[in-house]
A = this chain, B = another copy of it.
């Protein structure tokens, strides 16, 4: 598919600055631009690339005024990021959804999988499992007994969902994610550890996305709950009886220990760790690699291990780096004081 800058501008209610006949047939990041590609400029940090990009057309903000010559044709729009997202989603939608059943797959008698679902080869659906309409179950997926899955869910190859877990509508679960493995619960008995049965489950509400190789453990009793709209990146650990509130997003490799409750609209950086049995409020922001040992109220921006206010962390770090100078000052004061005697 090839279109001109003018055609693009018409599609996105934009204004062409430059050659309206410039042709595009692909997308590229502005810093990796090539002829025939459409790029976008949304992050200020990347502005300097617009003067050197090889892309044929670049989406920019309406108020963007170049400070040097730009060889690319510009298409000015209200929100370049939203526009590119719309275009990417449009292109992606051209890939036909998987359909039908590939053989062999294994659907246990009594499981309910509507004909509108895709079931890939070597996928497994356990006894009494119920799957909604238009759900895509890729090859080698495992769906345990009594699992309930909503409509329009995409479950990529190799996902494992243990018995009794519930997946809402429009969820996307990436390869290697494990939903509902046993929580890590043991009772110490004479220096050994006896396993405590984990008879709860995992509940994913609607519109949740779970990254590749992320693990969400089943509750000891009750449910581990991932609320509507939560987005989890790859390799995240969510322990038993955790609850993550609506529209909270977590970057890769975060760990949440058992029974911790996290509120809504939080943003959690990569490799952050939350202790068990704590409560986190809403609208907080946790910097990458933070360690959160205690409960946190609403609207905090925290950083470090143990996590503190991010500005306080920045100050503490600067003072720490200057400790050699402070020690020297103290030594000099001491010397002077002795001389003064």
Contact = CB atoms under 8 A, between A and B. Distances in A.
Interface of A: 26-29, 32, 43, 45, 81-82, 85, 88-89, 91-93, 95, 102, 104, 106, 120-122, 124, 138-140, 142, 144, 156-158, 160, 162-163, 172, 174-176, 178, 181-182, 184, 186-187, 191-199, 207, 209, 211-213, 215, 217, 219-222, 229, 231, 233-235, 237, 239, 241, 247, 249, 251-253, 255, 257, 259, 265, 270-271, 273, 275, 277, 288-289, 291, 293, 304-306, 308, 312, 315-317, 319-321, 323-324, 326-327, 329-330, 333-334, 336-337, 340-341
B321 A320 contact: no
A270 B255 contact: yes
Nearest to A163: B95
B323 A184 contact: no
Contacts of A104: 104
Contact of A270 (B172, B237, B251): B237
A255 B271 contact: yes
Nearest to A330: B329
Contact of A122 (B122, B186, B270, B275): B122
A160 B176 contact: yes
B253 A255 contact: yes
A67 B270 CA distance: 43
A231 to B, nearest CB: 6
A142 B176 contact: no
Given A102-B106, A120-B124, A184-B231, 7 more contacts: A29-B219, A45-B277, A140-B160, A237-B252, A237-B270, A273-B288, A326-B327
Nearest to A187: B85
A33 to B, nearest CB: 9
A142 B175 CA distance: 10
Given A235-B215, A291-B289, A319-B324, A247 B191 contact: yes
Contacts of A255: 235, 252-253, 270-271
A80 B215 CA distance: 29
Contacts of A233: 184, 237, 239
A178 B340 CA distance: 70
Contacts of A194: 85
Contacts of A213: 176, 178, 213, 215, 235
A42 B95 CA distance: 54
16 contacts: A29-B241, A88-B221, A91-B199, A122-B140, A140-B140, A142-B158, A172-B195, A192-B207, A192-B247, A193-B249, A213-B215, A215-B234, A275-B288, A289-B305, A319-B320, A340-B341
